[in-house]
A and B are shown apart, each in its own frame.
Chain A
Amino acid sequence: MKTRCADSIRSELLGHFASFGTKSGLMRMNLHFSVQRLASRWLVLGSKFIKRTVDIVGSLACIAALSPILLVVGLLVRMDGGPMIFAQSRVGKHGRAFKMFKFRSMRVDAEKRLAEVLKDNQHSNGITFKIKNDPRITPVGHYLRRYSLDELPQLFNVLKGDMSLVGPRPPVPREVALYTLADRRRLEVKPGITCIWQVSGRAEIDFPGQVKLDVSYIEHQSLAQDLKILARTPKAVVFGSGAY
């Protein structure tokens, strides 16, 4: 039995390598190699290509569908005389800084008054920052933040390629300066408008929990997972759990 098995392996091996001597055998093997080469390239580039296509098509569709809301919100924000868009420095893929667009929801001097409110931070780790009843928020800004409407201009960041529709939320440089090397894993991919922890509890999840969920998202990233997160986002926005 053993001899027969060895014979069959030897025969298959010899047959395989002998076939290279013929034109058709050589062509067959070259074709096989070309197919493998294409499959390998597709495996590497395909997911990137699909994600970028979904980002461009999705952001363009959202901008077109939400343009009346964008216009109304923009006019409301302008009513207090300050700028409509707030471009904040955020940290993107591989730690690179970029300007993230938001509808301005705070008073014009908000950055200057940051030190006053830092002591009221409700995130105990000291890395991320979130407080209820932030005195710097404008009355219009309160509603924009409640329903995440202030985040809508980030659709233009997605079009630009700084961000993706789905990905870990981009942190501010002040937070990243406090990151450990392990925390930096969440900067491995492009940041997103919505992310796994935003649809699973939003600001109520503490920083280590956010890192854990972000790393798990990156490790199992797929189109299906992105679509699931996108589908869960409107519900999280409407009920606004953890947003303040």
Chain B
Amino acid sequence: MKSILICPGSRPAIPNLVETGSLATLPILGECLVNHWVEHLAALGAKEITIIAPKCAELVAAAAGDGARWGVTLKIIETNVEPTVDEAISHYSSKGAEGWLPAPFDVVSMNHLPGDPALPLFDSYASWFAAVSAWMPKALTPTRIRMSEVRPGIWLSSRARISPNAELIAPCWVGDHAIVEAGATVGPGAILEDRAVVDEKANVSNSWVGPDTFVGRMTSVMRSLALGSTLISWQSDSSLRVRDPFLLASLKKAPEAQANPRPVRARQSQLGFLASLRARLSGG
């Protein structure tokens, strides 16, 4: 059986996620979107899958390989623009012909996660987070290895390192090689992708922390998407780049050289120190 997958191209509603290279290869719950779909189509009986990748063929090929992992053959076609489902049917398939998966799986535009067409991924940051959060229970597919639901609503990789003094509140997802340090709180509604690190006494709730992202000591990430040093509030659709690596940073890239404390920040910190001194004194 054959099928066609259309990768998402540019999505103006979520520019910071598009910046990562390709939305099709951005990891979602430990696997990238294209791999979730290839696995889903393989489970439905597809043996030959054509992937239409607008300006991202190399990234898709690197993520999905040749399909041998799922026992399918993948053919990746690079295009300049993302075709619609109808355009893909007229160009690459013959509707109704034999040997194709039944509609709507003959040609799939990856605008949602498999089995969740009611939850669009790319309408806004809020819709992206809602779709990914709702998909947590469905992410434990038959091929999934090392992930298990250790307590109701808590999905944990056997290779994650959780301090005994950390707190996990359902629902939450802690991916492969993720680290949660002592005193940290993860959840409710927290997703730590593979290799994310939540440092001591940090707090992550109703948020998605991307792969290889470091959340610094005592830092709170709430109702946000954290990807490297980029923090996006899915609630207000705003974003900022965090300069201090000990607050939020990418563990993959070398941190930018830290300048000497800027005068304004030095003043703010000194005021903070005085306030903490007052609190210490009044606390006895």
Contacts and interface: CB of A to CB of B under 8 A. Distances in A.
A23 interface: yes
Contact of B276 (A14, A30, A185, A218): A14
Interface string B141-168: 1110110000000000010010000000
B273 interface: yes
Interface stretch (A31-39, A61-69, A73-81): A31-39
Interface in B212-261: 212, 214, 216-218, 244-246, 249, 251, 255, 258, 260-261
A125 to B, nearest CB: 17
B265 A20 contact: yes
Interface stretch (A107-115, A135-143, A156-164, A175-183): A175-183
Interface in B59-89: 65-66, 68-71
Given A7-B282, A11-B280, A184 B143 contact: yes
B283 interface: yes
Given A18-B270, A30-B255, A181-B70, A36 B214 contact: yes
B195 interface: yes
A21 B43 CA distance: 55
Interface stretch (A40-48, A192-200, A202-210, A224-232): A40-48
B190 interface: no
A21 B283 contact: no
Contacts of A185: 142-143, 145
A13 B214 CA distance: 18
A91 B68 CA distance: 10
Interface class of chain A by DSSP? helix
A10 interface: yes
Contact of B179 (A19, A20, A43, A180): A43
A188 B269 CA distance: 49
Given A20-B244, A181-B39, A13 B145 contact: no
A30 B246 contact: yes
B65 A94 contact: yes
Nearest to B274: A18
Contacts of A181: 39, 42-43, 70-71, 141-143
Interface residues of B, number: 50
Contact of A33 (B65, B66, B255): B255
Contacts of A30: 245-246, 255, 258
Given A14-B279, A32-B246, A218 B146 contact: yes
B269 A44 contact: no
Given A16-B218, A30-B255, A188-B145, A40 B179 contact: yes
B177 interface: yes
A40 B251 contact: yes
A188 B39 CA distance: 14
B284 interface: yes
B275 interface: yes
Contacts of B218: 12-13, 16-17
